[in-house]
Amino acid sequence: MGQINEPMSPPDALAAWLREGKVAETGAGAPPVAVVSAADARRVWKRVAAAVAEQRPLALTDPVDDARRAELAAVLARAEAKTAGAVWMATGGTTGGARFCRHSGQTLGTAARGFAAAFPEVREQWSALPAHHAGGLMPLLRAAVCGGTAVAADYRVWLGGDFPQMPGPGACLSLVPTQLGRLMAVPAADAFLRAFAMILTGGAALPPAMQAEAVRRSLPLAPCYGMTETAAMVTVLPPTEFLAGTEGCGRALPHARVEADGDGSLSVDTAALFDGYLDLGGFHPRLPGPWATPDAAHWSAEGSLVVEGRLDRVINTGGKKVSAERVERVLSGLEGVGAVFVFGAADPLWGERVIAAVETENAAAETVWRAFARDRLAPEERPKMWLTLKRLPRSSMGKVDMAALRKSFSLPGK
């Protein structure tokens, strides 16, 4: 990754853009979209800064997403993509189709300033996340608004036990739970991870066993909640509260208002919200006001946001609704299983059947798993099929790749 773990000082022009970078409709003669797609995070950051300096619309895409490359290019070929000041971030959502969120210097700057206001001591931002995602770009932008430095880290080098110099005082590291879990398996990693003031963990829920082990090892985790549409995080649980046993993702950052309604639906209102989606059908502006997220959540007694799971991860089987994420939490207690992913597949009798995909080296343990599930889950929650594989297929942000999983086992969608 070029100069791995070398601090980068964001250019002054980037900080100015984060204050003033508005979106404006562009007529004929608009500059072409600067498409940034590279595996090297430091290279992505430099290209983003260059596009900002050239006042070009900017699009971030996954360098290894060959399956959607042509469709993404077709979306970016639309006239709406040439909107001045636009920052397009690819997001397939649950549809899997090529789609971009539109941000700007102002929306991204709002998010960066919100974090800086909540954690003014953090001036060194380390990221092991892919830089074409919001979570991987924002460390650079947070460093820009506070006058600090950003470090593009390749955690794969760390997996071999090769750790760089210790981070500076108040340093922050961004990881997804999959990366954290693999690092926790490296004996020499604990001392390095404990040197950070905080380790932001988002993109997916922390498995209960990983959370308990992190507390036991005194790792300064800071679970957070956010997504591309919100310019990364809108809530953060400080490490002191995490280590004290507080559950959830913390309280809202200063720039955001987060509400969990009585029915469990979760909404976010902030000037960091995306402007709308761009897909093959054109640009679809976001409605004014709070944005209804695809997640369900509630507030804990300590005032921390507890995300219960995606509203669209409900399996309708035999006329009853099953929360895939609740079943996953229960099955995470299985011995000899690295990870569990639960989903529904079409079934002519039940409508959908519950399926559990497990990471394991022991494919012969299904009888034990079924007994475990029978003791802890309602009849409709118990998996009707168990899939075993050494490693679940995941995206670069650690989320399970449903399309790849279904294809591997020739399973239909919903």
User: Model confidence over 182-210: pLDDT tens digits?
Assistant: 999 998 899 999 999 999 999 878 888 88
Measured between alpha carbons, how far is 402 from 311 in angstroms, rounded to an integer? Answer: 16
Contact 346, 317 (CB under 8 A): no
The values of phi and psi at residue 109, to 5°, are: -65, -40
pLDDT of the residue at 220:
98
Q: In the chain, which stretches have pLDDT less than 50?
A: 1-3, 93-95, 414
- 42 by DSSP, 3-state: which? helix
The bridge status of strand 149-152 relative to strand 291-299 is unpaired
Which CATH number is correct for 1-311, 3.30.43.10, 3.10.450.240, 3.40.50.12780, 1.10.3210.10? 3.40.50.12780
Same fold, 1-311 and 314-408: no
Contact between 164 and 4 under an 8 Å Cβ cutoff? The reply is: yes
pTM: 0.82
Residue 234 pLDDT: 98
Q: What is the pLDDT of residue 1?
A: 38
Beta bridge partners of 179: none
Coarse DSSP helix, strand, coil percentages of the chain, rounded to the nearest 5 percent: 30, 30, 40
* Tens of pLDDT, residues 247-261: 999 999 999 999 998
Burial class (CB in 10 A: 0-12, 13-18, 19+), 65: middle
- Secondary element (H or E) of residue 108: helix 105-118
Task: Give the C-alpha separation, 413 to 374, whole Å.
Answer: 26
Query: What is the bridge-based pairing of β-strands 251-252 and 232-236?
Result: antiparallel
Residue type, 43: R
Three-state secondary-structure class, residue 134: helix
Question: Where exactly are the structural domains of the chain?
Answer: 1-311, 314-408
> Edge to edge, what strands does the sheet with 34-36 contain?
34-36, 58-60, 87-90, 100-103, 276-279, 282-285
pLDDT at 413: 58
Q: Which CATH class is domain 314-408?
A: alpha beta
Q: Are 234 and 115 in contact (CB under 8 A)?
A: no
